[in-house]
Amino acid sequence: MISIMEANETVKMITQENLDVRTITMGISLIDCIDSDLDRLNEKIYRKITEKARDLVSVGRDIEKEYGIPIVNKRISVTPIGLIGAAACRTEDDFVAIAKTLDRAAGTVGVNFLGGYSAVVSKGMTPAEERLIRSIPKALSSTQYICASVNVGSTRTGIDMDAIRLLGNIILETAELTKEKDSLGCAKLVVFCNAPDDNPFMAGAFHGVTEGDTVINVGVSGPGVVKTALEQIRGESFEVLCETIKKTAFKVTRVGQLVAQEASRRLGVPFGIIDLSLAPTPAIGDSVADILCEIGLEKAGAPGTTAALALLNDQVKKGGVMASSYVGGLSGAFIPVSEDQGMIDAVEAGALHLEKLEAMTCVCSVGLDMIAIPGDTKASTISGIIADEMAIGMVNSKTTAVRLIPVIGKGVGDSVEFGGLLGHAPVMPVNAFSCDAFISRSGRIPAPIHSFKN
Amino acid sequence: MTKLIITVIGKDTVGIIARVCSYLADHNINILDISQTIVGGYFNMMMVADPAQSTVTAGQAADELDALGKEMGLSIRVMKEDIFNAMHRI
């Protein structure tokens, strides 16, 4: 029998410490929709998504109510459209037509994002994939729910520098086309190295080709719960610190596991994975930076930050894998800037710079995320930042990602408001020295050696 | 049938248990166990209830007891027992 103390602990986590299930994401394969006729392809895509995900939102709401746990987002990921549209799309506008179909389907079933307007080009781009990448600015500026991602490298294939050079321009174009909304389009575009096939979190979710027809993946969150648990053990040893993070991550993940199983059963769709990421929101007390401060730093970015984050990321995973046999996705600690009030404070106080963030991405679960940079940043500089981040992922066999927002018309000292979960951010300075000659080389960076690990 | 855990937290006043119990009785939800403490003037109760014969769904009970709680200045939450077992039992 559950004791009153245990009941209160759970209720307190939900009501005061922002424990929630961040997303139930239904992965839907569109491979059986492939057609060389664009109209038929669009029709099949719309029909399949609206059929498979018809009850996703209502089932999510029911579970939320019955178990008393908020389920913040219900979302869909689909097979990378770079593959699905290859036979039908002869122009960039053909791809945009698919984006609009996806957008219409997302609106019909009531999800708040649909990911998978993507291309996986870790070694090279097919002509269709290049067309999809070139269509991203138009697709993102003419749709509401669509998220795009491009995987440009992996530990086994190396890094496609041609794609990175192209993406520097694509990110700037997307920023330009959405400049009325502080270049918000770029918040829906992620560049990956080693992208997982089963990530439920946006903007980078897509339903990889290794997956089955449909799948339910669940992302849990709870930075506030970890922070509160750590408040009770100030000054204790690293052993106690690690033990506390693990136990908390275990509890949080178990809730996700329960919700995932229940959603899978009610929807008749197989359960895929739990992604146990500490995903912050701009809400007070829902910050990963605050956990780093609770571990012992004055501000995120102070010396010791990388070590503290490495410890946190690892303990979260260790606690989580005990709670669910199927852990996947990105799993770990996210360090977005605009979505985390503690990170924003650290940047504004001058404690946290782009270079320190880059170092932190070596040990966090993703990468340079939701960072506003000056709108007049050169395309080659953006490509250079992406290349650096991809190299970290490639060499360290981990997922890394870049989601930069060059805010058109704004510079260092200005601030940007994205609204909702995306938060607000100070525009951060970027190293102004050129990497033009490096980025203008064609071809790819070879895969790294898998021995002599130093 | 999954049991329900009902938690009530708030400032202590006359008739909290009575009001919650009448709601449950009116809707044919059987109370299996009650634990209750008062810490620093704050009323803290947990009920385990069996909704097998209930005339309302767990979701409706959650909404209606939440409304009753607001009326009395309390936080009343109805949650399926599974979430507590998942979190606190291996």
Residues in A closer than 8 angstroms to B48, CB to CB, are 1-2
Query: How many angstroms separate the CA of residue A270 from the nearest CA in chain B?
Result: 20
A10 contacts in chain B (CB < 8 Å): 79, 83-84, 87-88
Q: Residue A162: is it exposed, middle or buried by C-beta count within 10 angstroms (0-12/13-18/19+)?
A: middle
Does the beta carbon of A163 lie under 8 angstroms from any beta carbon of chain B? Answer: no
Residue A163 burial by Cβ neighbours in a 10 Å radius (0-12, 13-18, 19+):
buried
CATH architecture of A25-193: Alpha-Beta Barrel (3.20)
Cite the beta strand spans of A137-186 per DSSP E.
Answer: 146-154, 158-160
B43 at A interface, C-beta within 8 A: no
Q: What is the pTM of this model?
A: 0.93
Say what the pLDDT of residue A452 is. 80
Residue B6 confidence (pLDDT) above 80: yes
CA-derived radius of gyration, chain A: 21
CB spacing of B37 vs A10 below 8 angstroms: no
Fold of A218-442: Anaerobic Ribonucleotide-triphosphate Reductase Large Chain (3.20.70)
Distances (CA, A) of A268 to A76, A112, A260, B80: 16, 22, 12, 21
Among candidates A15, A68, A255 on the partner chain, residue whose Cβ is nearest the Cβ of B78: A68
**Of A108, A117, A131, which Cα lies nearest the Cα of A56?**
A108
Across the interface, do A258 and B82 touch by the CB < 8 Å criterion? Answer: yes
CB A106 within 8 A of CB A114: yes
Residue B86: its chain A contacts at CB < 8 A?
A: 254-255, 257-258
Q: Say what the pLDDT of residue B5 is.
A: 95
Nearest to A339 by CA among A18, A13, A16, A3: A18
Please, which pLDDT band fits residue B46 given cuts at 50, 70 and 90? very high
Q: Which residues in chain B are contacts of A2 at CB distance < 8 A? A: 5, 46, 48, 81, 84-85, 88
Contact B9 A251 (CB under 8 A): no
What band does A150 get if pLDDT is binned at 50, 70 and 90?
Answer: very high
Residue A65: closest C-alpha in chain B: B59
Within 8 A of A4 by CB-CB distance, chain B residues are 35-37, 44-46
- The Cα-based distances of B44 to A426, B36, B38 in angstroms read 43, 6, 6
Contact list in B for residue A258 (CB cut-off 8 A) is: 82-83, 86
Establish if A266 touches chain B: CB-CB under 8 angstroms.
no
Q: How confident is the model at residue B41 (pLDDT cuts 50, 70, 90)?
A: confident
Give which of B31, B77, B79 to mutate to test A binding, by max A Cβ within 10 Å: B79
Residue A68 near chain B (CB below 8 Å): yes
A406 membership: H or E segment, kind and range: strand A400-407
Number of A–B residue contacts, CB under 8 Å: 72
Residues in A closer than 8 angstroms to B83, CB to CB, are 10, 67-69, 255, 258
Nearest chain B residue to A66, by CA: B59
CATH number (domain holding residue B27): 3.30.70.260
Beta strands in B1-90 (DSSP E): 4-11, 30-39, 42-50, 74-80
Contact A76, A146 (CB under 8 A): no
> How high is the ipTM of this complex?
0.90
Over the stretch A328-351, which tens digit does the pLDDT of each residue have? 888 889 999 999 999 999 999 999
Q: What would the mean pLDDT of A11-30 be, rounded to a whole number?
A: 93
CA distance B43 to B36: 8
Residue of A nearest to B90 (CA): A323
Q: What is the pLDDT of residue A302?
A: 97
A257 touches chain B (CB under 8 A): yes
Closest Cα of chain A to B79: distance in Å?
A: 5
| DSSP, res A124 | -
- How does the average pLDDT of chain A come out, rounded? 95
pLDDT at residue number A418: 87
Give start-end residues of each CATH 3.20.70.20 domain in chain A: 25-193, 218-442
| Pick from A1, A8, A66: CB nearest B7 | A8
Say what the pLDDT of residue A307 is. 97
Residue-wise burial string across A309-324, b where 16 or more C-beta atoms lie within 10 A, e elsewhere: bebbbbbbbebbbbbb
Question: Which of A388, A356, A375 is closest to A289 using CA atoms?
Answer: A356
Q: Is the pLDDT of residue A371 over 90?
A: yes
**Parallel, antiparallel or unpaired: strands A444-445 and A424-426:** unpaired
Q: Are A2 and B84 within 8 A, CB to CB? A: yes
Least CB-CB distance to B87: which of A4, A10, A65?
Answer: A10
Give strand pairing partners of A147: A115
- Kindly state the average pLDDT of the residues A49-74: 95
pLDDT at res. A419: 81
Those of residues 6-35 in A touching chain B at CB distance below 8 A are: 6-11, 15
The conformation of residue A366, written as its DSSP 8-state character, comes to: S
Mean pLDDT of B31-39: 90
Any idea what DSSP says for residue B39? E
Rg of the Cα atoms in chain B: 13
Cα-Cα-Cα-Cα dihedral sign, residues A201, A202, A206, A207: positive
For A12, residues 6+ apart whose C-beta sits below 8 A from its C-beta are: none
Task: Output the pLDDT for position B12.
Answer: 86
User: What tens digit of pLDDT does each residue of A192-238 get?
Assistant: 999 999 999 999 999 999 999 999 999 988 899 999 999 999 999 99
Long-range pairs, B31-36, Cβ under 8 A, ≥24: B32/B3, B33/A1, B35/A3, B35/A4, B36/A4
What range does the domain containing B13 cover? 4-88
| Separation in Å, CA A10 to CA A219, A236, A439, B77 | 18, 24, 51, 11
Contacts with B7 from chain A: Cβ below 8 Å: 7-8, 11
* B35 interfacial to chain A (CB closer than 8 Å): yes
Q: Which residue carries 């746990």 as its tokens?
A: A69
* Rounded mean pLDDT, B15-35: 94
- Mean pLDDT across A157-171: 98
